[in-house]
Amino acid sequence: MTERIEDFDGQRRFDDRSACDRQPGPARSVDVSGRCADCWGPIAGTKQPAGEWQHIECLVCRRAVDGNDAACEAEAMRVEGEDNMAAARIGQRANYRPDARFVLKLLPEMHRDKAKVDQRIEASLAQGRKRWRLTRHEIPPGTAGYLYAQARAFLAGVENLSREKSAISLSDFEYGEPQVVGVEKSPADGTLRVTGSVPVTYRRPSGRELMARMGTALVAGMAGAFACEVGMKAILVTRLGGAAKTHDLLKLYRELPDDSRGRLEGDFPEIADVLGHSRETFGRWRYFEQGIGEDAIRALVDTDRVWGVGKAARVIADECVVAGLNYEIDIDTSFEFDWRPGDMSTAQRIHLSLEGGESSIVWEELLQAGTDDGSSGREE
């Protein structure tokens, strides 16, 4: 029997608000998706025939738990997800167990009001172009979703890269048979003390291999930083009608609305530090230009930073969803037949389409509604 791979994806619906209620209020539906607490990668696993989880694994960093540990982790995730539900429905941050290995990310479908948001976009267009800002003139209504799609594409690319990113890898070492090097008898109590050693040979990787590993780290770091940049710009444009024309990740982060930053910090408490350390990865640093210092060059190939930027990018991509951004990607193929006596040729046309959509969520009113009554509604 082959085991079925399952994920934690699902949806919760709430019917505590009448369908006629057009006022901003708690989300009526919340998508649920499993995440690795270490790298925020998607997770999957297998279940026992009785339905208990027996294996959970991160699809990005491969961290895993098995057996009873997996069952306990899944139960803790479920309880925590329920505890976070009411807050998520009104756009508040999540709280996770400090020792969580995996968590449930809640993605609420917030109340939308297209007419109000159209007005806001009109007003933002009426303000005219600004030299140092990306505005609605550069990113017309609907297209912020493209930026989000770009962030997801970069992330998907990074996840396909080789995992071998550090200059020194465990696979460079070969371990021999343990050898006894000495035996001593203690004169006091007669106990024997045996000392041994394990021969280790370090196989120095070739220059070409080292360059390839450094290059993989470089590509992953830059793509991750760029995914952070376009993701934050997508959120800024859809929420505030514009973003600074900069590659500086920390600057963009500081421009985000408070509630958005709150949710990001809930998912990744160190996100501001990580973005600060890698703030110019895709800006000045990508040129290896003189004068930027050794620190910047090290940042480009430092695997810890590459990990941090990748996690930040994944957390930001989830925030794009909560902010109301979406995209659809599709491939249309059509065949053409060309028939002549004695000869037939076929041609295939491929049309790749990408459609970006964006938020018509009335955030200000929603957040206001959330603080006014202090409650978040009952569950079904």
Residues that bind Zn ion (CB under 5 A): 36, 38-39, 41, 58, 60-61, 63
Residue 354 is given by DSSP the state E
Alpha-carbon distance 257 to 268, whole Å? 16
d(CA 234, CA 224): 15
Compute the least distance from the CB of residue 87 to Zn ion, in Å: 24
Q: Phi-psi bin for 128: left (phi > 0), alpha (psi -120 to 50), beta?
A: left
The residue (of 160 and 346) whose beta carbon lies closer to Zn ion is: 160
At closest approach, how far in Å is the CB of 40 from Zn ion? Answer: 7
Smallest gap from Cβ 59 to Zn ion, in A, equals 8
Is 285 or 307 the residue whose CB approaches Zn ion more closely? 307
Q: Which residue has the tokens 């968590």?
A: 103
Which of residues 136 and 152 has its CB atom nearest to Zn ion in the complex? Answer: 152
User: What H or E segment, with its residue span, contains residue 3?
Assistant: none
- Separation between Cα atoms, residue 42 and residue 343, nearest integer Å: 50
Cβ–Cβ under 8 Å, residues 225 and 284: no
> Nearer to Zn ion by C-beta: 108 or 221?
221
- Which residues, 6 or more positions from 84, have their beta carbon under 8 angstroms from its beta carbon? 94, 95, 104, 106
* Closer Cβ to Zn ion, 39 or 322, answer by number: 39
Q: What are the helix (H) ranges across the chain? A: 67-89, 114-126, 144-159, 207-240, 249-255, 258-267, 271-277, 293-301, 303-322, 363-372
For Zn ion, the closer CB: 139 or 217: 217
Question: What is the DSSP-derived secondary structure letter of residue 324?
Answer: T
In this complex, which beta carbon is closest to Zn ion, that of residue 38 or of residue 355? Answer: 38
DSSP structure string for 334-348 = EEEEEEETTEEEEEE
Secondary structure element (H or E) that encloses residue 194, with its range: strand 192-197
Closest to Zn ion by CB, 56 or 218: 56
Q: Which is nearer to Zn ion, 64 or 125 (CB)?
A: 64
> Phi and psi for 122 in degrees, rounded to 5?
-55, -50
Q: Shortest approach of Zn ion to residue 263 CB, angstroms?
A: 20
User: In the complex, what is the shortest distance from the CB of residue 60 to Zn ion, in angstroms, rounded to a whole number?
Assistant: 5
The one-character DSSP state at 51 is S
Question: Which two structure tokens, joined as six digits, stand for 152?
Answer: 């997801």
> What's 155's DSSP letter?
H
| Minimal distance, residue 63 CB to Zn ion, in Å | 5
Q: Is the dihedral of CA 20, 23, 26, 28 positive or negative?
A: positive
